[in-house]
């Protein structure tokens, strides 16, 4: 009877000790994975800021890009978090002589290490599934989105008082701008090698429709000069004039691909 009683006491002590060690492991693990993930994500964000800024991307696309790259960051941070959690948990137990107290109460050293080993095995099983199923899919989507962002042409940045040459074959100067409303515009069309076309307008507004830039101009002039025959000069006055300029890769075009690698 005494032997059974001792076994029950020993089992209860081991169970309570295991729960205590699990609690000591979980909180440092969660704290460590948060800190390591934050550090790695911040480092990745600083390295990618040049790729993201100036592209005119929606905030949802930027968050999606960070979310997709979070997978490989987690794959790196979890093993480091497990190591830090084990060092902090067992280090604190040893520093406070709690391991000595457990050993004195009859709990074996294997039982003390058991929670840490089981915790590591469970994390390893999860990481095997994560690496085989989740990580490849996220990396594939992140690679596609990174390529789409790289091909996207920077957004139209029309600053008053400066020439804007981001549209191929056009050079645009605006004296004043309020939102999409423009005043005192000068547009140079460099598409033709033989005819020089210059457009002046008192006012107008800009609209982007897909991969097309639409200018609606008011109260202006169109000057056309034949560079091969300088006597051939034409001037056209207008009250309203529209210009549609196709621009490749102005909008972010998303690809779908089943190819991995």
- 166-212: pLDDT as tens digits: 777 788 888 888 877 888 888 888 777 778 888 898 988 887 776 67
Tell me the mean pLDDT in the region 45-51: 78
- Please, what is the average pLDDT of the chain? 78
- For 116, the token pair is 């840490």
Q: What is the pLDDT of residue 125?
A: 94
Q: Is the pLDDT of residue 37 over 60?
A: yes
Residue 2 predicted with pLDDT over 90: no
Query: How far, in whole angstroms, is CA 224 from its chain's centroid?
Result: 46
Q: How confident is the model at residue 128 (pLDDT cuts 50, 70, 90)?
A: very high
- Asked whether residue 225 carries a pLDDT value surpassing 60, the answer given is yes
Question: Residue 254: pLDDT band by 50, 70, 90 thresholds?
Answer: low
Q: Name the token pair of 54.
A: 């100036």
Average pLDDT for 123-134: 93
Output the 3-class SS for the chain.
CHHHHHHHHHHHHHHHHHHHHHHHHHHHHHHHHHHHHHHHHHHHHHHHHHHHCCCCCCHHHHHHHHHHHHHHHHHHHHHHHHHHHHHHHHHHHHHCCHHHHHHHCCCCHHHHHHHHHHHHHHHHHHHHHHHHHHHHHHHHHHHHHHHHHHHCCCCCCCCCCCEECCCCCEEEEEEEEECCEEEEEEEEECCCCCEEEEEEEEEEEEEEECCEEEEEEEEEEEEEEECCCCCCEEEEEEEEEEEEEECCCCCCCCCCCCCCC
pLDDT, tens digit (0-9, with 9 covering 90-100), for 55-114: 667 788 888 888 999 999 999 999 999 998 888 888 887 777 776 777 776 667 777 777
| pLDDT over 70 percentage in the chain | 77
Q: What is the mean pLDDT of residues 208-221?
A: 81
| Rounded CA separation 4/14 (Å) | 15
**Mind listing the pLDDT tens digit for each residue in 18-31?**
777 788 888 889 99
Q: For residue 35, which of 67, 7, 77 has the smallest C-alpha distance?
A: 77
Q: Which residues lie closer than 8 Å to 225 by C-beta, 6 or more apart?
A: 195, 196, 197, 232, 233, 234
Cβ 160 vs Cβ 174: under 8 Å:
yes
Q: Which residues of 19-39 are buried (b: 16+ CB within 10 A; e: fewer)?
A: eebeebbeebbeebbeebbee
Domain positions in the chain: 2-151, 163-246
Where b means 16+ CB within 10 Å and e means fewer, 133-144 reads eebeebbbbbeb
Determine the pLDDT at residue 153: 55
Alpha carbon distance 89, 163 (integer Å): 62
Residue 72 is predicted with a pLDDT of 93
> Per-residue confidence at 10, pLDDT binned at 50, 70, 90?
very low
CB contact set of 22 (below 8 Å; sequence gap of 6+)? 115, 119
**Whole-number pLDDT of residue 193:** 74
């Amino acid at each position: 009877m005494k032997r059974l009683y001792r076994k029950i006491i020993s089992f209860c002590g081991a169970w309570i000790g295991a729960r205590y060690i699990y609690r000591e492991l979980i909180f440092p693990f969660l704290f460590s994975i948060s800190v390591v993930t934050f550090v790695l994500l911040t480092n990745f964000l600083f390295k990618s800021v040049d790729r993201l800024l100036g592209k005119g991307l929606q905030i949802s696309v930027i968050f999606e890009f960070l979310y997709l790259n979070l997978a490989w960051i987690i794959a790196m941070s979890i093993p480091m978090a497990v190591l830090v959690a084990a060092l902090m948990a067992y280090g604190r137990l040893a520093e406070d002589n709690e391991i000595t107290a457990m050993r004195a109460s009859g709990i074996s050293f294997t039982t003390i290490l058991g929670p840490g080993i089981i915790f590591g095995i469970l994390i390893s099983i999860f990481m095997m599934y994560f690496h085989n199923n989740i990580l490849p899919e996220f990396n594939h989507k992140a690679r596609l989105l990174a390529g789409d962002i790289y091909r996207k042409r920077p957004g139209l940045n029309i600053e008053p008082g400066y020439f804007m040459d981001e549209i191929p074959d056009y050079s645009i100067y605006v004296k004043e701008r309020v939102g999409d409303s423009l005043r005192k515009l000068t547009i140079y069309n460099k598409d033709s090698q033989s005819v020089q076309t210059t457009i002046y307008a008192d006012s107008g507004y800009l609209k982007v429709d897909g991969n097309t830039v639409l200018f609606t101009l008011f109260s202006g002039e169109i000057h056309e000069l034949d560079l091969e025959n300088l006597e051939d000069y034409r001037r056209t006055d207008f009250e309203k004039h529209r210009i549609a300029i196709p621009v490749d890769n102005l909008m972010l075009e998303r690809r779908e691909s089943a190819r991995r690698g």
